[in-house]
Amino acid sequence: MTRVQARDTAREILEIIPLVMRTVAAELRAAGEMPAPAHFGLLSILSTRPRMLSDLASLQGVSLPTMSNSISAMVERGWVRREAPDGDRRVVMIDVTPGGRAALERVTRCAEAHLADVLAPLDLTARRKLQGGLGVLRKVFAAAPASGARKNHRTPAKR
């Protein structure tokens, strides 16, 4: 990819992604009860199986304190539970509650409905393009979690 292409793509990403982000967030908000996309993703991940706090943080690519806060917010809503596993008493396992599952269910249906409205006018070609593009984004950004870091959240070696 040439410099010019990179710049154009960069510009486009910096322009479009926040827009999509705001729109989606606004929809979730309007749907009531879902404060943020982050919570949605978290519930999604947790609905498969319980996870350690640190695992959640690195899966989502955020710092441990950030994840701890998000989880606290969700605990307060009654969507997840913090539990102590038998073995290592330092770790905290996060598990979905039935309430959390229900919320995920509701919000999924709602988001689906809204996005379906928006996506409805797309023809087959456009849909293919969209999915192709999303796939590329996933590959690119899942592989490169920020520029380098992401392995040591603490002060780096400090000595």
69 binds, among a second copy, DNA, none (CB under 5 to 8 A by kind): DNA
Number of Cβ within a 10 Å radius of residue 74:
24
Per-residue DSSP letters for 43-72?
HHHHHHS-EEHHHHHHHHT--HHHHHHHHH
Contacting a second copy (CB under 8 A), which of 65, 78, 85, 135?
Answer: 135
Candidates 48-56, 79-87, 92-100, 129-137; binding stretch for a second copy (CB under 8 A): 129-137
> Interaction with a second copy in 25-44: which residues (CB under 8 A)?
26-27, 30, 37-38, 40-41, 44
Q: What is the CA radius of gyration of the chain?
A: 18
Q: Name the DSSP class of 62.
A: -
Least distance (Å) between residue 120 CB and DNA: 23
Contacting a second copy (CB under 8 A), which of 77, 82, 106, 114?
Answer: 114
Least distance (Å) between residue 124 CB and DNA: 32
Sole residue written with tokens 């479009």: 16
* Residue-level length of the chain: 159
Burial 22-46 (b: 16+ CB within 10 A, else e): eebeebbeeeeebeeebbbebbebb
Instruction: Give the nearer residue to a second copy in terms of CB position, either 35 or 41.
Output: 41
CA dihedral 106, 107, 108, 111 (to 10 degrees): 130
Instruction: Give the nearer residue to DNA in terms of CB position, either 12 or 132.
Output: 12
Residue type, 99: G
Q: Where on the chain is the footprint of a second copy (CB under 8 A)?
A: 1, 3, 5-7, 9-24, 26-27, 30, 37-38, 40-41, 44, 60-62, 108, 111-112, 114-122, 126-127, 129-138, 140-142, 144-147, 149
